[in-house]
Structure 1
């Protein structure tokens, strides 16, 4: 069985980081990814770096996919950004509400990702394949699980083609989310976002900040390894490989890896799955 994969990077902040990311991409291209997405900092703080990295990926012969967040943006700035993406040969966008840098009010002409999806469709028709965020464990700012599901469905009704989830370690949460969508008549593919485990404290900090649940047994095992980096990476690869296998066996359409601009952990999981 052929498994479709996509990879996510963030824009490097230094020339050294850019060189390192180029080397990482070359290793990961061996996986033949369907596309490589590039994040867009809070309030668009990395927007030039996002576009530069996407252009490089396109120049390397792969589909470069920018993230585009709308909070704090105007219709004119989004319109200009869409034109830049078209000029760069971009065919896909990950359309997000996004977070503002701390200290900012809401601002801008968009409140929700569904507003951004509607605007992109009005401006560019079907030129872009639009992916949007999904939250199997419920967005931390959602009023309720039902409200969160409604928000995802609103993005689909506005014209989104696919969902990509926040990372998670509980496959049941993903399957329940998809089941709830199907029950509502929504057949949009939802791709699981996969976070390799390489660093215990970093993972727990990330997860606490974004509302992703790390199961108690995983958290306890990670903490028991202390500073044993090799043990953390081996255990992490076991956990994530088992998760991916269950997701694929259960019908997940593909896998989207949050690489954190590294190659080793993603390659190891896919090697264990028999994909790499």
Structure 2
């Protein structure tokens, strides 16, 4: 037998993480209403950059206690008026009566909004426990039920792969999600996370609990660790030590931070894609570049925007 015949056969080369993406991805993007003219310019540049990706929808957040009510409405109305994008308006229960919330919903319907992201909402004062308005909707499940009576909205709600920090236990948190879905929610958008396994475990538990609505992973590309840490405290997301380590020493190197952020978020999306996920929701923080780059890796390509 020749020496060549005895040579070990090298293992097959593993395929690159995004080699098998084939353009079968649906994406959506979240923005927040701008406070200044400069912030508005940044937001609209981001919308213009992401619009050719033809997202399923774009959503606009609503501040604690309705603190951005007018700015949210104005931003959503401008998206409806000036773009082809399906706009989803966030709406919360905090510090408002049922009548006030129903009126806001009717105003959205009248300007052409057909999608609401229905949330319980955070108290206007950090650290203050949530209290339902005596004449308002008690929670997100009640809000969903009420909105469906106002108009046949498409409704998204929030879910928490690593459990909402105010939930008594994971099962109670899952029960709350089921109440929202049973009330009429069409999908649940997850808070951000950094472990694909945590999302898959949550998705499996939701299915076992009889939740049939679509569950879409929320992706937050991290470029500011301290800001992300603050967000994580509000929604119960775990920030692994390895992630903080990757940003160590990059405070004065914004371009390097962007590259690291894109790499980490892209790998997470690749793992989710390999596990069967085909829809992603990006928390853009009104910056388009990271979300655009990740979408590109996932095979989402720009197409001409039609009027």
**TM-score, normalised to structure 2's length?**
0.85
Ranges in structure 1 where 5+ consecutive residues have no aligned partner: none
- Say whether the 8 Å CA contact 1:163–1:189 is kept in structure 2: yes
Going from structure 1 to structure 2, the CA distance change for 1:5 and 1:116 (only over 3 Å counts) comes to: same
What do the CA deviations read for 1:136-166 (whole angstroms, capped 9, x no partner)?
0100110000100000001011111100000
Structure 2 Cα separation of the partners of residues 51 and 226 of structure 1:
35
Counterpart pick for 1:147 among 135, 148, 172: 172
Report the counterpart of residue 100 of structure 1 in structure 2: 123
User: Which residue does 2:73 correspond to in 1?
Assistant: 51
By how many angstroms is 1:107 displaced? 4.6
Q: Distance in 1 between matches of 2:192 and 2:42?
A: 24
Higher-helix-fraction structure:
1
Correspondences of 1:125-136 after superposition (within 5 Å):
127-136=152-161
The answer to which structure, 1 or 2, has the higher relative contact order (CA under 8 A, 6+ apart) is: 2
Superposition RMSD in Å: 1.6
Q: Is 2:223 the counterpart of 1:201?
A: no
Over 3 Å counting, the alpha-carbon distance change for 1:209 and 1:183 in structure 2 is closer
Cα displacement (A) at 1:48: 1.1
Other-structure match for 2:32 = 10
Q: Tell me, in whole angstroms, the C-alpha distance in 1 between the residues paired with 2:199 and 2:298.
A: 19
Deviation at 1:242, TM superposition (A): 0.9
> How many Å separate the matches in 2 of 1:6 and 1:211?
22
CA distance in 2, matches of 1:203, 1:147: 26
- Name whichever of 16-25 and 44-53 sits farther off: 16-25
Deviation at 1:226, TM superposition (A): 4.4
Match for residue 117 of structure 1 among 144, 158, 167: 144
Does structure 1 residue 178 correspond to structure 2 residue 203?
yes
Deviations 1:164-202 (A, max 9, x none): 000111111111111011112221110000101222332
| 2:256 counterpart of 1:269 | no
For the residues of structure 2 that align with 1:92 and 1:210, how far apart are their CA atoms?
Answer: 23
How far 1:36 sits from its partner (Å)? 0.7
- Per the alignment, residue 85 of structure 1 pairs with 108
Name the TM-score, length of structure 1 as normaliser: 0.94
- CA, structure 1 residues 208+186, in 2 after alignment: closer, same or farther (shift >3 Å)? closer
Equivalent residue for 1:251? 276
Alpha-carbon shift at residue 266 of structure 1 (Å): 1.0
Q: Tell me the equivalent position of 2:254.
A: 229
Q: What is the DSSP-based 3-state SS (H/G/I as helix, E as strand, rest coil) of the residue aligned with 2:248?
A: helix
